[in-house]
Amino acid sequence: MTWETIPQMVLSAGDRFGDAEAVVDGELRLSFTELAERVRRAAGAFASAGIDKGDRVAIWAPNSAEWIISAFGLLTAGGVLVPVNTRYKADEAFDIVSRSGAKVLLVQQGFLGTQYRGPDGVPVIDLKSRFLSSGEFFEREVSGSDIADIMYTSGTTGRPKGVMMNHAQTLRLFSEWCDLADLREGDRYLIVNPFFHMFGYKAGMIASMIRGATIYPVPVLDVDEVFDLVERERITMLPGPPTLYQSLLAATDSGRDLSSLRAAVTGSADIPVELIRRIKNDLPFETIMTGYGLSEGGTATASRAGDTFEQIATTVGTPCEGVELRIAEDGEVLIRGYNVMQGYLDDPVATAEAIDTEGWLHTGDLGSLDDDGRLKIIGRKKDMFIVGGFNAYPAEIEGFLLEHPAVAQAAVIGVPDDRMGEVCKAVIVAKAPVSESDLIAWSRERMAGFKVPRYVEFRSELPTNATGKVVKDQLR
């Protein structure tokens, strides 16, 4: 079945899946029919509030049933969704709300004890108020080429840029994602990835509506609460960062019943092969998918059924249908296809820098292809540093360090050196006692000299953004 727009797809879910549960959020349990009705009412509320076709509305709130209703209601009213990172402080959020031109800001007042406000002149509406249910049934005509959302890049460096995607490309890409991730009708999908991120919103909310899976939104990742939900609700689908699966593995002896879990989806440049092997052997998951995606191009590559533990852990799979991939002379990963963004909002210069005249998206990631065309991400182009004339790739060195039995997490940066230009510094979160000299000596036996850390700093945790990426600027 093909749909032109996200509202068409979401509203049709009421007819397609009827009384099956669409969303379970605490005491609230909504069927697909009820969700479609609430979405139509929310669309009417937005229209009554003066939201016209193409107008932007920002949501700065944690995962919840109301987030789902407001986002799909906004799109049904013809509006454009601007999700805002819940970890942002007021000034960071205001910058995005203002630059996006949002007419309204939706928040969840009182979340984590915070009273949210917006930039001057932008009305603030509480998601948990009566606003979403205050409208008459409404639906405005939109087309597949209309912009559906503007998702701001996570901004580990520089100012976040607004990535514009349309309805049609989103539906096509995440329809395929459902197949690759083995998402099925009737699945019970625990969404720990935040809705303000592509993984939670598109591979979560939208994919569930396409396939007819029940959404369980998780506002704050609490591992004990995840276990409770898995047991009580018989969760089948549980994507998340590698750390989530490490927590599940650590609890395998706790007597928790995780037997319902069937499908796992994860992604990172540095997943230990042993972790993938243990997920498959020690947990009930039947399928594990890993992939490579970015705000500007959605999920561009994915692993496939039959891939080995090593292939799933060390590569991010092969290109999705309709997506071209090549490695530039300097090692940068380039992507071309229907999935590439429509551009950065109000920033033609940055758009031209990102997408060349032949339509190739320059990802900023460095990679290589194996003999079967699987992509291996080596690291960020900007993270690479040069040690005495040799290119050093942090993700590669981090992968080596993670093989040490005492290392739980590793982040590598280049630091200035009078003789070599730059040398390697490793920032380590340890899970067992280990000294700087031990780790350096161990590294010398396994890596070329220029890759070996000259300095090791131990920390209790690494600074990350809300999507789990290490913010290396803070380490520098």
Nearest to 447 by CA among 376, 385, 396, 381: 396
pLDDT tens-digit map of 353-391: 999 999 999 999 999 999 999 999 988 888 888 898 788
Confidence band (pLDDT; 50, 70, 90) for 155? low
Nearest to 385 by CA among 333, 428, 423: 423
For 231, the token pair is 């047991």
What pLDDT is attached to residue 254? 77
Greater confidence, 450 or 34? Answer: 34
Sequence-separated (6 or more) residues with CB below 8 Å from residue 113: none
Per-residue pLDDT at 285 exceeds 60: yes
pLDDT tens-digit map of 205-236: 999 999 999 999 999 988 899 999 999 999 99
| Domain residue spans of the chain | 6-18+27-165, 221-379, 384-475
Confidence band (pLDDT; 50, 70, 90) for 1? low
According to DSSP, the β-strands at 147-152 and 124-126 are unpaired
* Averaged pLDDT, 291-316: 94
Greater confidence, 153 or 289? Answer: 289
* Averaged pLDDT, 36-45: 98
| Residue that the structure tokens 């249908």 belong to | 321
**How far is C-alpha 449 from the chain's CA centre?**
35
Q: At 273, which helix (H) or strand (E)?
A: helix 273-282
| Residue that the structure tokens 């900023």 belong to | 364
CB 334 within 8 A of CB 328: yes
What pLDDT is attached to residue 386? 87
What pLDDT is attached to residue 419? 82
Same fold, 6-18+27-165 and 384-475: no
The average confidence (pLDDT) of the chain is 93
Domain 384-475 in this protein, CATH class: alpha beta
Greater confidence, 251 or 257? Answer: 257
What pLDDT is attached to residue 428? 96
* Averaged pLDDT, 126-143: 98
Sequence-separated (6 or more) residues with CB below 8 Å from residue 236: 184, 187, 188, 189, 260, 261, 262, 263
Per-residue pLDDT at 424 exceeds 80: yes
pLDDT tens-digit map of 48-100: 999 999 999 999 999 999 999 999 999 999 999 999 989 888 888 999 999 99
Interhelix angle for 273-282 vs 242-250, to 10°? 50
CATH 3.40.50.12780 given to domain 221-379: yes
What pLDDT is attached to residue 158? 62
What pLDDT is attached to residue 395? 82
pLDDT tens-digit map of 324-342: 999 999 999 999 999 999 9
Q: Write down the pTM of the prediction.
A: 0.88
Nearest to 44 by CA among 133, 109, 166, 154: 133
According to DSSP, the β-strands at 188-191 and 214-217 are parallel
CA distances from 429 to 221, 222, 404, 426, 435 (A): 20, 20, 12, 10, 12
Q: Is 307 exposed, middle or buried (0-12, 13-18, 19+ CB in 10 A)?
A: buried
What pLDDT is attached to residue 89? 83
CB 7 within 8 A of CB 142: yes
For 422, the token pair is 């730059």
Degrees to nearest 5, angle at CA 122 with 118 and 126: 60
Per-residue pLDDT at 157 exceeds 60: no
| Residue that the structure tokens 């789902």 belong to | 68
What pLDDT is attached to residue 417? 87
Confidence band (pLDDT; 50, 70, 90) for 466? low
Annotation: CATH topology of 6-18+27-165 = Rossmann fold (3.40.50)
What pLDDT is attached to residue 273? 86
Task: Specify the range with the lowest mean pLDDT, choosing from 40-44, 133-137, 275-279.
Answer: 275-279
Listing DSSP states for 369-415 in one string gives E-TT--EEEEEETTT-EEETTEEE-HHHHHHHHTTSTTEEEEEEEEE
